[in-house]
Structure 1
Amino acid sequence: MKNLTYLFITMIVFTYCSSPKSEESVAESMQYRIAYNVWTDKEGDNYEVFSMKTDGSDARNITNLSGVEWTYFASGSDVLYISDRDTCTRCYFLYSTDAYGTEHSKIGGPQLKDSWMSTRKGGEEIIVNPRVEGDSAFYIINRQGALVQKIYTGLSYYSDPCFSPDGTEIVFRGSEKRFRPNIGYQDELYIVGVDGSNLRQLTYYPEGDTTADWYSYHAGPPYWEPNRNIITYHSKQQGGSYLFQINPDGSGLKKLTPDSITIGWHSWSPDGKLIAFDANSGGKEGKMNFDIFTMDYESGDITQVTTDTLFEQAPVFVEVRKINKNL
C-alpha cells in the first residue's frame, strides 16, 4: 500500500511539472531586445551600440564610449561588438556585453576587420575576420580569444562569415577580385566547409543589371536561418536594395521585401518569426536617414520601429530572460 501511495504521488508531481501550463510559463520567460548601431556624432565619428524593446521603446545607449563601437551579432544574451577603444582609430578588437550594457568584457584574439561574425556550439566558438599581416583566413576562436581553427577560402576577397546551423559550413561574401574599383570586383555569396573544402558559389547577380556600383552590395552579409534552413541577404538590384532568400543548394531564390522600401543589414529573431533590418526611411530618392524595421516572415507585414532622426543600422536580436514568479 505504501508503494502504491508513493507511485500515485509521483504521478501527480510528474504530471504537474510537465503540464502545458508550465511549458507556456517557461516560454513566456524569454523575451527579445534589439541591439543596433547608432551614429551619434557625425563630426566626431562616434558610433555607439543601443538596445531597445522590439516595439522601439526603452531605447538606451549600452556602450557610451568615444570612437567606434559596432555590433554585428548577438549570441543568446550576449551582444558581440567591435571597438577601437584603448587602441588606434578604427583598429578593432572584440568585446561582449548584455542587452543593457551592465557588464563589458574584452574577448582576446587578433585585431579584426569590419565584418559580420557568427557563433556555433552554443556561442562558445566565434568565427571572425581577422586583420593579421601575411594571413588570409577566417579564424574560429573560443570565448577567451584562443585560435581554434583557420579557414582558407582561396578567394582574393572574403568577409562576413556565418555558420550553418550544424556548424560544419560557412556562408560568406567573397570575390575572385580584390575590393578595389575598376578591376571587375563583384561580391557574391559562397559556401565552404569549415575545413576549407567544397567551395561553391551560391548567388549570381542578374546579368544586365547595372544599377549597383562596384562598392554596392551585390550580395550583402548573409544570415543562415536555422528554423527553415534558408540563407537571406540583401542585394542592390534595379535601383533599390532588397532582401532575398535562397536555399543552401542554390534553389528557391525569392525576393522578400517590396519595391517601396530600400533596406540594408538584417538579422533574424531566434524563433524564426521576425526579421529586423535597417532601411532608408527617406525612400529611394529621399534623405539618407536609416531607421530600424521589423518584418513578420509569414505575413510579410513590415513595422517601422524607430522614427527619430538618428542614423541607425545593423539590428540584432538579443535574448532577455524575464523572471516569472509563477515558475
Structure 2
Amino acid sequence: MGHLARAACVLTALFAGVLVLSGCGSGAAEDAAPIAFTGIPPGGTDRHVFVVDPDGGPVRELTVVDGDSDPSWSPDGTRVAFRRWARKGCRRPHQDCAQIVVVDADGKRSRTLTAGVHHSLQPDWSPDGRRVVFARWQDDANPFANSMDIYVVNADGTGLRLLTRGPGDDASPAWSPDGKRIAFISTRSGSYDVHVMRADGSDLHRLTRTGKPATAPAWSPDGNQIAFGSGDGELVVVNADGTGLRTLTRSFSGDGQPTWSADGERIGFVRQGIFGDSLYVMREDGSAAHRVDIGEITQPSDPDWAPVGAD
C-alpha cells in the first residue's frame, strides 16, 4: 500500500470510551494474534497503550491514561501488564514514580501490582502467568539508588522479591518460554550486554560480548534464540547459549524492540525514521519487512505480540 493510501486512514469510531482507528493493511491473517504497543493518539501529547492486528484492521486503544507504556501480554492473552506513572506522594526527584499495572484485555478493569516510592517498568509475565518480572529504579534510601535492578512479584501483587542487585543497571527482563531463565540487559560488565540468570536470580552470566550496547532482549517461542537491538541500530539474534550471533536488519535510521509471534515465524519491531518511528513486522530470518498500519497514531514503541487467540 502506498503512502497516500496510508495517509487516508482516519478516525472511524469513538464509542464506550474506546478509541478505534481505521487500519489499511492487506487483511491477510498469517497469525491471528494482535500486537500491543505504546503510541500517541491523534491530538494527544503523551503515550497510551494500543492493540493492533499486524495484518490489517482497526487499532484499539487499551488504556486512556497519559504516559502508560511497556505493555506485556499474559500467557493466556486475557491481561496486559504495563507501566503507569504514579506521581501522587512521590518523593523521587522529578516525581518520576511509576508502578506496574495489570488491565484486562478488554481495557475495562485494572489493578496495581506494585507500590512504594519507586519507578517500576518493563514488566514481563512468567509462562505460567503466576508472576511478573520487572525492572525498578531504586529509591533514595537504597545504596544503589542510581541503579536499576530486576524484581519479581506474584500476579496478585504479593511476594515481591529482588533478583539482582548492582553494580550498574539491570533492565529489560524477559522470561524464557520454559520459565527457567530470565534474559536482561546489564552494565555490570562495563557496557550494556545481554545477561541470563535462572528465574530465582542464581547462575547469572553474561551472554553477549558484541562491543555494542544491547537493548530489549526477546526469547523465541521455542527458547532457542534471543533477539535484541544492537547499539548501531541493527536487530540481531543469538542462540540461547551465546553462539551463532547473526544480523537480521540493517536500517539506515535504526531498528529495535523485537517481539516474536507465537509461532516463531515473524518478529515485530520498531523502526526509527526521519519522519517518525514506525511499527514493522518481518519474517524471523529478517526478510519481507513491512510497516504495520496504525492509522494516525505516532511514535509507536514497546511492541509485544500476544499469544494466538488473544483479542
Q: TM-score, normalised by structure 1?
A: 0.72
Q: CA deviation at 1:146?
A: 1.1
User: How far has the Cα of 1:172 moved from its partner?
Assistant: 0.9
Instruction: Give the match for residue 257 of structure 1.
Output: 249
Cα–Cα, structure 1 residues 271 and 111, in superposed 2: closer, same or farther, change >3 Å?
Answer: farther
* Alignment match, 2:58: 58
Structure (1 or 2) with the greater helix fraction: 1
The corresponding residue for 1:35 is 36
Deviation digits for residues 236-283 of structure 1, max 9, x if unmatched?
A: 22xxx1111111221010101134562121211222122111112x3x
- Opposite residue 301 of structure 2, the aligned amino acid is Q
| Cα contact 1:99–1:318 (8 A) shared by 2 | no
Relative contact order (C-alpha < 8 Å, sep 6+): which is higher? 2
* 1:199 counterpart residue number: 204
Change (3 A) 1:45 1:91: farther
Task: In structure 2, list runs of 5 or more residues that go unmatched.
Answer: 1-28
Post-superposition offset of 1:63? 0.9
* Residue identity opposite 1:74 in structure 2: W
Residues 296 and 221 of structure 1: is their aligned pair in 2 closer, same or farther, counting only changes over 3 Å? same
Paired positions, count: 268
* 1:118-197 equivalent positions in 2, closer than 5 A: 118-133=124-139, 134=142, 137-176=149-188, 186-197=191-202
Provide structure 1 residue ranges, at least 5 long, that are not aligned to the other structure.
1-27, 178-184, 207-211, 213-217
Render the CA deviation track for 1:274-305: whole Å, top value 9, x for unaligned. Answer: 2111112x3xxx33x01111112157211211
Bigger Rg, structure 1 or 2: 1
Q: Could you say which residue in structure 2 is the equivalent of 1:247?
A: 239
SS in 1 for 2:50: strand
Relative to structure 1, the CA distance from residue 107 to residue 197 in structure 2 (aligned partners, 3 Å threshold; closer, same or farther) is closer
Alignment match, 1:20: none
SS in 1 for 2:250: coil
Task: Return the alpha-carbon distance in structure 1 between the equivalents of residues 308 and 110 of structure 2.
Answer: 16
Shift of 1:68: 0.8
- Distance, in Å, in 1 between the alignment partners of 2:158 and 2:123 is 16
Written as runs of structure 1 = structure 2, the 5 A alignment for 1:1-327 is 31-40=32-41, 46-65=46-65, 67-76=66-75, 77=77, 78-84=79-85, 87=88, 90-110=96-116, 113=119, 115-133=121-139, 134=142, 137-176=149-188, 186-206=191-211, 218-237=213-232, 241-259=233-251, 262-280=254-272, 282=273, 286-287=274-275, 289-298=276-285, 300-306=287-293, 310-319=298-307, 321=309
Check conservation: 1:109, 1:141, Cα contact below 8 A: no
